[in-house]
C-alpha cells in the first residue's frame, strides 16, 4: 500500500514521464483486473474458513462489544459524512455516502487484527480471543452494510435499490438449494488421505467466477458471490483443505499485493491541501478513534472487563485494513467518494492501523511470570511422592507426535504421582502467514472459525492427543505458540513458568532422513533451543528424534522398550538419571544405567547418593528390568566405542548435557549446546535408529526472572554455566 502511494500521483507519479513509462494507461486496466480477481478469490477463502454455525458459540460479552463497537462509530460516521458532503464532496449522493462513511469508521479488519495479536503474543490469551470473536461479528455486519451501501449507490431510485437487495437475497437462496448440493457431492467424493481430483478444483474455481459474475450483474459486487460460495462449502474433509492449499499462497503472495498497490496508485495525497482538508482528516481520525474505542470500552466495562484490558480491546478493535480498502475502493468506483475524500479516508485507515501496536503495547502489558514454585527439576520432584510431574513438550510438525507421545507415556512410570503433559505446537509467524490460518491454529471453542486440518496437521494433533489421553493415565493439554522464530523462545519460557513445569522437552533442530542422516529444519529453531537452555525456569531436555518406537505404543502389553542412561557424574547427569529411573518403573521398559568411571576421578557424594537412590535400591529389591554396568574409559576411542556398544538395540539413550568428562567425543560439533556426550549422540556415527534425550538440570543462576528463595540449594557441584548462543554451523567447533 505504501509502495503504491509512493509510486502513484502522491510522489513519483507526479512526473508524467515516470508514470507513463512505469504505469502506462493500458497497464492499469490489466493491474485492476488481476487485483479484483485476487480480491474475489480472497473473499472466497474468507468464506471458506468461516463457519456460520459456530457464530452461535460467540460469547455474550464478545457479541455486546461487537455491537457497541459498530453502533457508536457508525453514528459518528453519519455525522462525519454530513460534514464531508458540505465541505469536500458536495456532489456525493447523501444516502450512499452516509452508509459508506458509517461502514468505513465502524469496521474492524480481523486479518490485520490477527497478525497484530500474534506479534504481541496475545492471540491465544483471553483478550485476544475476545477481540477476534468480536471482530468476526463486526466483519459480517460490515459486509451486510456494505451490500446495502452498494445497492443504494447503484441508482437514485429507492425501488431499484430494493430490487437489487431482493435479487441478492434470491441469489443466496439459489446458491443454498442449487449450488451447495454440488459442493457437498464433491466434498463427499474427496476422502481424507487421498488427493482431491483436479476436476473438482477446476469446477470450484469456475463456480466462484460464475457466482462473482452473477452478483456483479445483480448490481452489488462480484466479491459477494465468491464469499457466499466459500461459506457454503463443507468445512470438514480434504476438499476444503485442498482448495485452501491450492489458492492461498497465490492469492496472498501475488494478487493481494497487487490490490494494495492498485489502491495506492489511486491515492493522491496532494489533493489534501489547505486547512479545511487537513482539518477534516484530523476530524475523521478523531471520530473514528473516539467512536470505536469509546464504544468498545463502555461495552467492555459493562461486561466487567478490567479497565486496562477494556482500553486495550478498544485500541485493537480500531484496527483497519484490507476490508477498509475494499469499502473505500468500491465507494470511489461508484462515485460516492471523490479523489480528496478517498485520500483522506485511506490515510485515516493507515494511521489508525499504525498506531494500534505501539498504543496496545503501552497500555496493556500482561504479566508473564507465573507464581513461584519449587519443583523445577525431576530430581527434586522425585523426593516428593505426592507431587505432580508437569512436562511442557514442544513440537514443530505432526510427524514428531508419535515419538512425543511414547516419550511422555514412558515418563509416567507406575507411581501414584500424576503426570500432566502440555503439548505446545510451535508455529512460525512468517510474512506469508495468513491471518485466517493463524486464527485456525489458535482457535478454541467459541471462536467462529472452522478448524483447518490439512497443512498444519491441526486435526491430527487433536485426534492423536485425545486418543492418547483416553488410553493412558496422562492428562494432555494441547497448546499453540504462534510467533516469529527469533522470539518463540519467549513463549516457551513463559509457558513453562506459567504451567509450573518441571521439564521442558525441545525438539532437536534436525530431522531424520530416509538414509539415516539428520537434515536441519531451520537454523532459527537451533537458536531458539539455545536461548531456552540458557534461561529456562526448569530442567530442559533436547530430544533427538530417530522415531522412538515407530508407530507402536509404549503402553502396548506386548511391546518392550530399551532405555539407556549414560552417567558420567554432575548435576545434569543426576537429573538424567532421575528421569531415566522414572521411566524404568514403567512395565514396558527395560532400563540400563551405564556409569563411566575415570581412573583419577574423586568420588562425588551427590553422585553416589543419586546412584544409591535410583539404582542400588532397585537392584536390591530384585527388579530384573533394571541393569547396572560400570565402564572404565577415559580416552575418546574407548568412550565412543563403549557408548556405541551399549546403545545397540536401545530405543532411547538419556544423557546429561554437562557430563563430567573432559574428553570431546566429536572432532567438530555443529551443536555444542548439547555438550560433549550429547553432541556425539546426535551424530550418525553413534546410531541411526536410537533416539537421544539430552538433559540439562535447572540452574537458578541461569534464570534471570527469578531470585532464589531461602532454603534452596545455593551451590551445586559441577554446575556448568549455560551455553552461549551458538554461531552458524560453519563457525561452530566442539568445546
Q: Express each pLDDT in 71-85 by its tens digit.
A: 898 889 888 888 888
What pLDDT score was predicted for residue 541? 94
> For residue 587, what is the DSSP state?
T
Q: What is the 3-state secondary structure (H, E, C) of 523-546?
A: HHHHHHHHHHHHHCCCEEEEEECC
pLDDT category of residue 661 using cuts at 50, 70 and 90: low
CA distances to 7, 197, 201, 247, 366 from 238, in Å: 42, 11, 12, 14, 38
Q: Which of 51-55, 212-216, 693-697 has the lowest mean pLDDT?
A: 51-55
Residue 386, pLDDT > 90, answer no
Yes or no: say if 681 and 694 are a contact pair by the CB < 8 Å rule.
Answer: yes
Residue 367, pLDDT > 80, answer no
Q: Which CATH architecture has domain 7-15+35-363?
A: Up-down Bundle (1.20)
The string of pLDDT tens digits covering residues 573-600 is: 999 999 988 888 888 888 899 988 876 6
Residue ranges with strand state E in 471-514: 475-483, 503-507, 510-512
For the chain, give every residue range classified as CATH 1.20.1530.20. 7-15+35-363
pLDDT category of residue 163 using cuts at 50, 70 and 90: confident
Q: Where are the alpha helices (DSSP H) in 631-703?
A: 636-647, 675-681
Q: 3-class DSSP state for residue 211?
A: helix
CATH number of 378-429+484-707+717-731: 3.40.50.620
Residue 440, pLDDT > 70, answer no
Which carries the bigger pLDDT value, residue 350 or residue 719? Answer: 350
Q: Once rounded to an integer, what is the mean pLDDT over residues 87-114? A: 80
Q: Once rounded to an integer, what is the mean pLDDT over residues 79-94? A: 80
Residue 715, pLDDT > 50, answer no
d(CA 138, CA 65): 9
What pLDDT score was predicted for residue 453? 39
| pTM given for the model | 0.70
CA distances to 27, 115, 257, 438 from 432, in Å: 27, 11, 11, 11
What pLDDT score was predicted for residue 667? 59
d(CA 607, CA 569): 6
Q: 3-class DSSP state for residue 154?
A: helix
d(CA 231, CA 47): 4
Which carries the bigger pLDDT value, residue 619 or residue 135? Answer: 135
Q: Once rounded to an integer, what is the mean pLDDT over residues 6-20? A: 71
Backbone angles phi, psi at 456, to 5 degrees: -95, 0
pLDDT > 70: percent of the chain: 79
Highest mean pLDDT among 134-148, 358-372, 437-451: 134-148
Residue 377, pLDDT > 60, answer yes
Residue 674, pLDDT > 80, answer yes
pLDDT > 90: percent of the chain: 13
Averaged confidence pLDDT in the chain = 78
What pLDDT score was predicted for residue 418? 79
Q: Once rounded to an integer, what is the mean pLDDT over residues 614-630? A: 75
What pLDDT score was predicted for residue 80? 85
d(CA 428, CA 142): 30
d(CA 124, CA 422): 15
Backbone angles phi, psi at 255, to 5 degrees: -70, -45
The string of pLDDT tens digits covering residues 199-246 is: 999 999 999 999 999 998 988 888 889 989 988 998 777 888 888 888
Residue ranges with strand state E in 688-733: 691-696
For the chain, give every residue range classified as CATH 3.40.50.620. 378-429+484-707+717-731
Q: What is the dihedral of CA 158, 162, 168, 169, to 10 degrees?
A: 160
Amino acid at each position: 500500500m505504501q509502495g503504491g502511494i509512493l509510486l502513484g500521483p502522491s510522489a513519483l507519479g507526479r512526473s508524467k514521464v515516470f508514470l507513463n513509462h512505469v504505469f502506462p494507461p493500458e497497464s492499469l486496466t490489466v493491474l485492476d483486473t488481476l487485483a479484483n480477481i485476487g480480491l474475489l478469490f480472497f473473499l472466497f477463502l474468507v468464506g471458506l474458513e468461516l463457519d456460520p454455525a459456530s457464530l452461535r458459540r460467540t460469547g455474550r460479552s464478545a457479541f455486546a462489544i461487537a455491537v457497541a463497537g459498530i453502533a457508536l462509530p457508525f453514528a459518528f460516521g453519519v455525522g462525519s459524512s454530513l460534514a464531508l458532503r458540505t465541505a469536500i464532496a458536495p456532489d456525493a449522493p447523501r444516502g450512499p455516502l452516509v452508509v459508506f462513511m458509517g461502514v468505513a469508521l465502524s469496521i474492524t479488519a480481523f486479518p490485520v487484527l490477527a497478525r497484530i495479536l500474534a506479534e504481541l503474543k496475545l492471540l491465544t490469551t483471553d483478550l485476544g480471543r475476545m477481540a477476534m470473536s468480536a471482530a468476526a461479528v463486526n466483519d459480517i455486519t460490515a459486509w451486510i452494510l456494505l451490500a446495502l451501501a452498494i445497492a443504494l449507490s447503484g441508482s437514485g431510485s429507492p425501488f431499484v435499490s430494493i430490487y437489487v437487495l431482493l435479487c441478492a437475497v434470491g441469489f443466496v437462496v439459489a446458491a443454498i438449494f442449487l449450488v451447495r448440493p454440488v459442493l457437498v457431492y464433491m466434498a463427499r467424493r474427496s476422502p481424507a488421505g487421498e488427493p482431491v481430483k483436479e476436476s473438482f478444483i477446476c469446477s470450484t474455481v469456475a463456480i466462484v467466477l460464475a457466482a462473482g459474475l452473477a452478483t456483479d450483474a445483480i448490481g452489488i459486487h462480484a466479491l459477494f458471490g465468491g464469499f457466499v460460495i466459500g461459506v457454503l462449502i463443507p468445512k470438514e474433509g480434504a476438499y476444503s483443505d485442498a482448495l485452501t492449499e491450492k489458492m492461498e499462497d497465490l492469492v496472498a503472495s501475488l494478487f493481494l499485493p497487487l490490490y494494495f498497490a492498485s489502491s495506492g496508485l489511486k491515492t493522491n495525497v496532494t489533493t489534501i491541501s489547505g486547512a479545511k482538508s487537513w482539518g477534516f482528516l484530523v476530524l475523521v481520525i478523531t471520530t473514528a478513534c473516539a467512536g470505536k474505542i469509546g464504544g468498545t470500552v463502555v461495552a467492555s466495562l459493562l461486561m466487567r472487563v478490567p479497565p486496562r484490558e477494556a482500553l486495550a480491546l478498544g485500541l485493537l478493535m480500531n484496527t483497519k485494513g484490507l476490508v477498509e480498502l475494499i469499502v473505500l475502493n468500491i465507494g470511489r468506483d461508484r462515485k460516492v467518494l471523490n479523489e480528496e475524500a478517498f485520500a483522506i479516508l485511506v490515510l485515516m485507515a493507515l494511521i489508525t492501523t499504525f498506531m494500534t501496536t505501539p498504543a496496545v503495547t503501552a497500555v496493556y502489558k500482561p504479566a508473564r511470570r507465573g507464581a513461584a514454585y519449587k519443583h523445577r527439576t525431576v530430581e527434586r520432584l522425585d523426593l516428593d511422592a505426592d507431587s505432580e510431574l508437569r512436562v511442557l513438550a514442544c513440537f514443530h510438525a505432526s510427524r514428531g507426535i508419535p515419538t512425543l507421545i511414547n516419550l511422555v507415556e514412558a515418563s509416567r512410570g507406575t507411581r501414584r504421582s500424576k503426570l500432566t503433559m502440555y503439548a505446545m505446537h510451535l508455529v512460525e509467524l512468517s510474512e506469508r502467514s495468513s491471518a485466517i490460518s493463524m486464527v485456525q491454529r489458535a482457535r478454541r471453542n467459541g471462536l467462529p472459525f472452522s478448524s483447518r486440518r490439512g497443512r498444519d496437521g491441526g486435526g491430527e494433533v487433536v485426534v492423536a492427543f485425545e486418543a492418547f489421553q483416553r488410553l493412558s493415565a496422562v492428562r494432555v493439554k494441547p497448546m499453540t505458540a504462534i510467533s516469529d522464530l527469533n522470539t518463540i523462545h519467549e513463549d516457551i519460557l513463559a509457558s513453562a513458568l506459567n504451567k509450573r513445569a518441571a521439564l521442558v522437552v525441545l525438539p532437536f533442530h534436525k530431522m531424520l532422513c530416509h538414509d539415516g542422516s539428520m537434515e536441519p529444519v531451520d537454523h532459527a529453531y537451533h537458536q531458539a533451543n539455545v536461548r531456552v537452555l540458557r534461561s529456562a525456569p526448569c530442567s530442559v531436555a533436547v530430544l533427538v528424534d530417530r522415531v522412538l518406537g515407530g508407530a507402536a505404543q509404549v503402553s502396548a502389553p506386548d511391546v518392550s522398550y530399551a532405555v539407556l542412561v549414560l552417567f558420567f557424574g554432575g548435576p545434569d547427569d543426576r537429573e538424567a538419571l532421575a528421569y531415566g529411573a522414572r521411566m524404568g518403573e514403567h512395565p514396558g521398559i527395560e532400563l540400563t544405567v551405564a556409569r563411566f568411571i575415570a581412573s583419577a576421578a574423586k568420588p562425588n557424594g551427590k553422585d553416589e547418593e543419586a546412584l544409591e537412590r535410583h539404582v542400588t535400591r532397585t537392584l536390591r529389591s530384585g527388579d530384573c528390568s533394571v541393569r547396572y554396568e560400570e565402564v572404565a574409559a577415559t580416552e575418546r576411542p574407548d568412550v565412543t566405542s563403549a557408548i556405541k556398544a551399549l546403545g545397540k538395540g536401545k530405543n532411547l539413550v538419556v544423557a546429561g548435557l554437562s557430563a563430567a568428562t573432559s574428553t570431546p567425543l566429536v572432532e567438530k560439533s555443529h551443536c555444542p549446546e548439547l555438550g560433549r556426550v550429547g553432541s556425539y549422540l546426535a551424530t550418525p556415527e553413534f546410531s541411526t535408529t536410537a533416539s537421544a534425550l539430552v538433559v540439562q538440570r535447572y540452574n537458578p543462576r541461569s534464570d534471570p526472572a527469578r531470585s532464589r528463595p531461602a532454603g534452596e540449594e545455593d551451590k551445586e557441584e559441577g554446575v556448568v554455566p549455560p551455553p552461549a548462543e551458538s554461531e552458524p554451523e560453519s563457525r561452530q567447533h566442539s568445546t
